[in-house]
Structure 1
């Protein structure tokens, strides 16, 4: 069942998303070679709790951390650890905040130091595909229009789209209906209606689209161990507009590439 939100509920999600965006900004200040991924997690959790929120991911189905930190060939759901970031890495940081009864969810992939041009291009094109998906997320369209726009754009550039993992509804639960694939046919899937709040999150690979799950039960990596990029926004659909509730503003003020 899809839970449609009132304008007041959307406003609460937006307030949650402001805490989330600023937490991402604090983490962005620290993304560089020589930093451990667990240091980034600690900063995010402290910021979220200091501002009245709760990390959505920590404890979710047993997940041990506040951030999903996925380095290089890890697509999503990587654990923070003692791993030290090094020049040439890419790192996806996915975070959620629960505040005033509602979740928000967003992600961003960073290059660390000097990254190869082809990997940098993967990041830039994946990020662009997110906004192309958002452009199609309008009242009266269907879920398939979003995935189709993302898929066509990235595949035309020689990349592949992960099929096993998808975007999702967001609200009182972190993951709600509907699922929002990053591939699909125009005009297919659930109708986009007033009050829908969804997370759109392209996961795009440099090599094969195939993925495997590690023995920890969480970490998803590319089957060929080539890099993967991931960007995400939570958005709200209204009859007269679509609003991006999460923000990358604080990331991009502190980290430019």
Structure 2
């Protein structure tokens, strides 16, 4: 069941979203050659702790509980990378997904960052991934149904010869990180079957994941990290977005 939020509830979600935005501002300042992924994770954990926020990812159940507050995925890693001793290198791209619960409400956002200068394929992939997220939010102001938005997202990705990851989707968000509805960034029969109306009070995490090559993937032996099958790079961009009477509002805006 989709739970629509009141204006007051969206205001509270905005506070959580802005803390996640602050986390990404911190992450952006730390991404550089030589930094260890666990150092980024620890810095975000300290930020959330400072504000009395609960990390959404740490302890998520699985074959082993997720151990970190950030998912940090490098190059051909699509999502759910576990931070560790790996040092970022010039030419890498790194996707960082994080979220928190503040005063009972959740915010969630992911971004993919270049590490120094990257090659042409990665540069274009970054551009298309961010464009796809922005396109979705723009079209939320114009479309009535999510399927209309998802169609345009998938078409934009395909126009560059890239592929949309179909094994993972966005989600509703509110008092819990994962609520109804599921929010795909591609079109298939299930997207049509579970379509939902874009109306005030809806709050969703929109998160296109785009691969340079095949959409096929595989799961690492660590039970969490997901890789592209062909080992080509992948990007992940996500905002928490609220539908209001005035149109869509990004609750996790990028901070300067």
Q: Does residue 230 of structure 1 match 2:236?
A: yes
Q: Does residue 221 of structure 1 match 2:227?
A: yes
Query: Unaligned stretches of 5+ in structure 2?
Result: none
Q: Secondary structure at the match of 2:82?
A: coil
Q: TM-score, normalised by structure 1?
A: 0.94
TM-fit CA distance, 1:242: 1.2
Q: Secondary structure at the match of 2:18?
A: helix
Aligned to 1:75: 78
Q: Determine the C-alpha separation between the residues in 2 that align with 1:140 and 1:134.
A: 10
Q: Determine the C-alpha separation between the residues in 2 that align with 1:176 and 1:53.
A: 19
TM-fit CA distance, 1:140: 6.0
Q: Determine the C-alpha separation between the residues in 2 that align with 1:244 and 1:53.
A: 20
Indicate conservation of the 8 Å contact 1:139/1:238, yes or no.
Answer: no
| Matched length | 250
Q: Determine the C-alpha separation between the residues in 1 that align with 2:224 and 2:140.
A: 29
Q: Secondary structure at the match of 2:109?
A: strand
Q: Determine the C-alpha separation between the residues in 2 that align with 1:182 and 1:132.
A: 11
TM-fit CA distance, 1:216: 1.9
Q: Which one of 194, 199, 205 corresponds to residue 193 of structure 1?
A: 199
Q: TM-score, normalised by structure 2?
A: 0.94
Query: Unaligned stretches of 5+ in structure 1?
Result: none
Q: Determine the C-alpha separation between the residues in 2 that align with 1:194 and 1:146.
A: 16
1:96-149 Cα deviation digits (max 9, x unpaired): 010011110001101111210111110011101101011122386112122111
Indicate conservation of the 8 Å contact 2:140/2:247, yes or no.
Answer: no
Indicate conservation of the 8 Å contact 1:78/1:219, yes or no.
Answer: yes
Aligned to 1:146: 149
Indicate conservation of the 8 Å contact 2:143/2:149, yes or no.
Answer: no
Q: Determine the C-alpha separation between the residues in 1 that align with 2:248 and 2:186.
A: 20
Q: Determine the C-alpha separation between the residues in 2 that align with 1:241 and 1:57.
A: 29
Q: What CA RMSD, in Å, does the superposition of the two structures yield over aligned residues? A: 1.6
Aligned to 2:36: 36
